[in-house]
């Protein structure tokens, strides 16, 4: 078919990949499902915990956190109002499901991303090896790896967390690395001269100085996690994305818009709070 | 060099971008445009019909891609002349065009096409070769599902079974959700919408390969049906009134019924019907036995054969099936071309 390029140089690794996926499903499918069930327990547990909290208490808590972060009464009220609006649109339960998904994936992002960023900043070789991997993670079309992940880990929330993780992790790693790389080396040398250990230098000097950059990375991760919500719903994860998808597929533009704006509202709430924390401390 | 613009104009006309009807009328020898259907049975049937049109009647053919609805709209405008597998009457675009006399559904190409709820056979009968015990030996009908929610356990909602529904937004999703209510399974099974067709296929395929129980909505003719041994759960016989309660998502008390029997036809444009009476006659005769079709699709999807090759192999291996649709001299021509 593809004339113009010499036939002899053409090859395809599609069959190999197909066989590999089949083999993985057959031999490791059940084990991986067991692992995925563990992660699912965390997710469902968090969801149920959020459901236990009465709606007004949750709004109040968000208001308090917002006030603590921004020190501005008006802003906190606007943010609480946005969340209340999602509830008024009848999307409260879906909001909680989406929130649980975003919280768990962002939590995993921090657990993996920050140490990885530190490693990248400290070891040039690691940096050279991992940077291309981050590029792949951000640009490989999600469905290409979602379907195999889904066959291995089951339909629903767990592959959704993986997909979100793959997509949302790179900015946090990059910005952590950037923040650490930009610290004036003389500060660290001075600390070294005063007898601070490697760990003390990292914890007491490097990380606090890099914090604004790390928080900006975290903020980006959360935003990207929220933008993955619709893709997540295409592999059976419940939440706000499901309504967007159903709205699009049935040409119910209104329903899609309601749920879509609810995602925007949630994003704004999380963004304003996390930004304020990133900026506020100094 | 001079021919450039004329050729281009001819190509435009052939594509039907200009006034569609007159183009087809003025140039009956322009290639017949088939809709390039993405799903397996449609892709296979398209190639089968193209082989017959090309080798039996000497007409040039080609395909143009598009989504289902856009192909139906293109057919109404005669930008396409043939959609080889049309689930006539299911989409508003089709119904409107048919009422306006722009499109016609020919024949009844696959009899006994059906949709319903299925489980792998090993769930009921076990599979000694793979060392799988029958987990639901008494399972025959949707009514029996009440005994077995724990077999089809939903990890996201422990204590409930999982019914794998089609993605939100499909017509069948509404019907299945209403059926869950009608069969009294709403409290026992979670209504799990699979998000997309690809996700649904991946989940079912993965479960079957691992020998795990899975309860799902599906339809015929599909590779899945020919590839694995599946059991369709019995439902009450089709009843038009009950069906109306199932298609209406707002109905609080739906009544159970099998789904409306599917009728698969070949969709053609008005211009095609007028200009190709010989092919129209053939299309009206097309009759693909569903078991054979399912098996063909299964091997096509398993071996990842291109639809064209699968169609040629089908013609080679099953002469009795397609010769019944064609006049003897045409059939001889097709056979001689192999």
Out of A25, A150, A248, whose CB is closest to B210?
A: A25
What is the reported pLDDT for B28?
53
Residue numbers in A near B170 (CB within 8 A): 249
**Domains B3-113+262-337 and B115-247 agree in fold:** yes
Those of residues 88-147 in A touching chain B at CB distance below 8 A are 143, 146-147
User: Mean pLDDT in chain A?
Assistant: 89
Average pLDDT over all residues of chain B = 87
List pLDDT tens digits, range B242-301: 988 998 888 899 999 998 888 899 999 999 999 999 999 999 999 999 999 999 999 998
Distance in Å, alpha carbon of A99 to nearest chain B alpha carbon: 16
- Determine the Cα–Cα distance for residues A61 and A83; give it in Å rounded to an integer: 12
A147 and B209 within 8 Å at the Cβ level: the answer is no
Tell me the pLDDT tens digit for each residue of B86-96. Answer: 887 767 778 88
Query: In angstroms, what CA-CA distances link B224 with A151, B51, B164, B297, B311?
Result: 16, 25, 15, 8, 18
pLDDT tens track for B165-211: 988 777 788 899 999 999 999 999 999 998 888 899 999 999 999 99
Helix axes A14-52, A142-153, angle to 10 degrees: 70
Mean pLDDT of B15-28: 45
pLDDT at residue A247, as a whole number: 83
A235 touches chain B (CB under 8 A): yes
pLDDT score for B67:
75
pLDDT attached to residue A30: 87
CB contact under 8 A, A147 and B199: yes
Rounded to a whole number of angstroms, the distance from the CA of B268 to the nearest CA of chain A is: 26
In angstroms, the CA B142 to CA B144 distance is 5
Helices (H), chain B: 3-15, 20-26, 40-51, 57, 68-76, 92-99, 121-125, 171-182, 197-210, 223-227, 240-247, 270-275, 277-285, 290-302, 307-317, 319-323, 328-337
Beta bridge partners of B153: B161
- Best of B192, B202, B215 to disrupt the A interface by mutation (most A CBs within 10 Å)? B202
CATH architecture of B115-247: 3-Layer(aba) Sandwich (3.40)
Q: Looking at the predicted structure, is the pLDDT value of residue B30 above 90?
A: no
Residue B162's closest chain A neighbor by CA? A155
Binary contact (A250, B169; C-beta < 8 A): yes
Range A18-28 burial, b when 16+ CB lie within 10 A, else e: eeebeeebeee
A185-202 burial, b if ≥16 CB within 10 A, otherwise e? eeebeebeeeebeeeebb
What is the DSSP-derived secondary structure letter of residue B145? G
Per-residue confidence (pLDDT) for residue B18, from 0 to 100: 41
Q: pLDDT by residue (tens digit) across A224-266?
A: 999 888 888 888 888 899 888 888 777 778 988 999 999 999 9
Asked if the peptide bond before residue B221 counts as cis, ω within 30 degrees of 0, the response is yes
Instruction: Match 């299964």 to its residue by tokens.
Output: B298
Q: What parts of chain A have a pLDDT lower than 70?
A: 1-3, 280-282
* More reliable by pLDDT, B240 or A3: B240
Supply the angle between the helices A207-227 and A157-181 in degrees, to the nearest 10: 150
List, for residues B108-126, the tens digit of each pLDDT value. Answer: 999 888 889 999 999 999 9
Please tell me the least confidently modeled range out of A264-268, B38-42, B143-147: B38-42
Q: Is the ipTM of this complex over 0.85?
A: no
* A236 contacts on B by Cβ (under 8 Å): 192-195, 199, 203
- The predicted structure's pLDDT at residue A280: 58
Question: Closest-CA residue in chain B for A241?
Answer: B195
pLDDT score, position A192: 85
The alpha-carbon gap from A27 to the nearest alpha carbon of chain B, in Å, equals 8
User: For residue B220, what pLDDT band results from cuts at 50, 70 and 90?
Assistant: confident
Q: Which fold has domain B3-113+262-337?
A: D-Maltodextrin-Binding Protein; domain 2 (3.40.190)
What is the band of B25 on the pLDDT scale with cuts at 50, 70, 90?
A: very low
Which CATH architecture best describes the domain A13-280? Orthogonal Bundle (1.10)
A29 touches chain B (CB under 8 A): yes
| In chain B, where the domains are located | 3-113+262-337, 115-247
Query: Within 10 Å of residue A174's Cβ, how many Cβ atoms?
Result: 20
**Single pTM value for the model:** 0.78
Q: Are strands B189-193 and B161-165 parallel, antiparallel or unpaired?
A: parallel
- Domain extents in chain A: 13-280
pLDDT above 70 as % of chain B: 91
Q: Is it the case that residue B19 has pLDDT exceeding 80?
A: no
């Amino acid at each position: 078919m593809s004339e113009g390029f010499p036939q002899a140089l053409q090859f395809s690794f599609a069959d190999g990949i197909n066989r590999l996926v089949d083999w993985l499903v057959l031999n490791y499918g059940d084990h991986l499902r067991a692992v995925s069930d563990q992660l699912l327990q965390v997710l469902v547990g968090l969801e149920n915990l959020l459901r236990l909290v009465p709606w007004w208490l949750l709004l109040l808590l968000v208001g308090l956190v917002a006030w603590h972060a921004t020190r501005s009464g008006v802003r906190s009220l606007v943010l609480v109002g946005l969340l209340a609006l999602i509830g008024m649109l009848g999307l409260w339960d879906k909001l909680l499901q989406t929130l649980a998904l975003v919280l768990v994936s962002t939590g995993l992002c921090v657990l993996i991303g920050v140490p990885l960023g530190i490693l990248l900043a400290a070891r040039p070789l690691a940096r050279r090896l991992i940077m291309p991997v981050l590029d792949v993670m951000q640009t490989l079309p999600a469905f290409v790896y979602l379907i195999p992940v889904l066959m291995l880990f089951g339909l629903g929330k767990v592959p959704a967390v993986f997909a979100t993780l793959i997509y949302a992790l790179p900015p946090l790693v990059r910005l952590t690395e950037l923040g650490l790389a930009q610290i004036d080396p003389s500060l660290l040398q001075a600390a070294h001269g005063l007898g601070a250990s490697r760990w003390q230098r990292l914890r007491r000097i490097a990380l606090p100085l890099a914090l604004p950059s790390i928080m900006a990375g975290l903020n980006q991760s959360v935003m990207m996690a929220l933008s993955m919500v619709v893709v997540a719903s295409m592999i059976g994860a419940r939440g706000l994305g499901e309504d967007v998808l159903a709205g699009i597929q049935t040409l119910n533009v209104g329903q899609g818009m309601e749920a879509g704006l609810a995602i925007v509202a949630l994003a704004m709430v999380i963004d304003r709070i996390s930004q304020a924390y990133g900026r506020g401390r100094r | 060099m001079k021919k450039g613009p004329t050729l281009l104009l001819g190509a435009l006309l052939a594509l039907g971008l200009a006034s569609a009807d007159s183009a087809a009328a003025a140039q009956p020898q322009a290639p017949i445009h088939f809709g390039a259907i993405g799903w397996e049975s449609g892709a296979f049937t398209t190639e089968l019909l193209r082989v017959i049109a090309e080798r039996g009647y000497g007409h040039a053919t080609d395909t143009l891609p598009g989504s289902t609805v856009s192909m139906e709209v293109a057919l109404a405008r005669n930008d396409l002349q043939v959609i080889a597998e049309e689930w006539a009457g299911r989409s508003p675009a089709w119904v409107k065009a048919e009422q306006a006399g722009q499109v016609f559904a020919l024949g009844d190409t696959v009899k006994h096409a059906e949709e319903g709820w299925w489980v792998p056979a090993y769930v009921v009968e076990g599979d000694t070769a793979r060392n799988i015990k029958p987990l639901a030996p008494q399972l025959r009908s949707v009514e029996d599902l009440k005994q077995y929610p724990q077999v089809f356990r939903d990890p996201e909602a422990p204590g409930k079974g999982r019914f794998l529904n089609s993605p939100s937004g499909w017509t069948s999703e509404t019907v299945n959700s209403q059926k869950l209510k009608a069969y009294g399974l709403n409290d026992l099974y979670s209504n799990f919408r699979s998000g997309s067709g690809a996700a649904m296929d991946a989940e079912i395929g993965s479960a079957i390969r691992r020998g795990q129980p899975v309860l799902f909505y599906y339809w015929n003719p599909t590779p899945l049906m020919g590839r694995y041994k599946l059991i369709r759960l019995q439902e009450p016989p089709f009843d038009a009134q009950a069906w109306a309660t199932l298609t209406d998502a707002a109905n609080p008390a739906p009544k159970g019924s099998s789904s409306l029997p599917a009728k698969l036809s070949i969709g053609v444009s008005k211009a095609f019907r007028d200009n190709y009476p010989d092919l129209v006659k053939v299309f009206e005769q097309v009759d693909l036995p569903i078991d054979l079709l399912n098996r063909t699709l299964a091997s096509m999807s398993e071996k990842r054969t291109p639809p064209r090759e699968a169609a040629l192999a089908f013609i080679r291996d099953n002469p009795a099936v397609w010769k019944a649709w064609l006049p003897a001299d045409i059939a001889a021509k097709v056979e001689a071309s192999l």
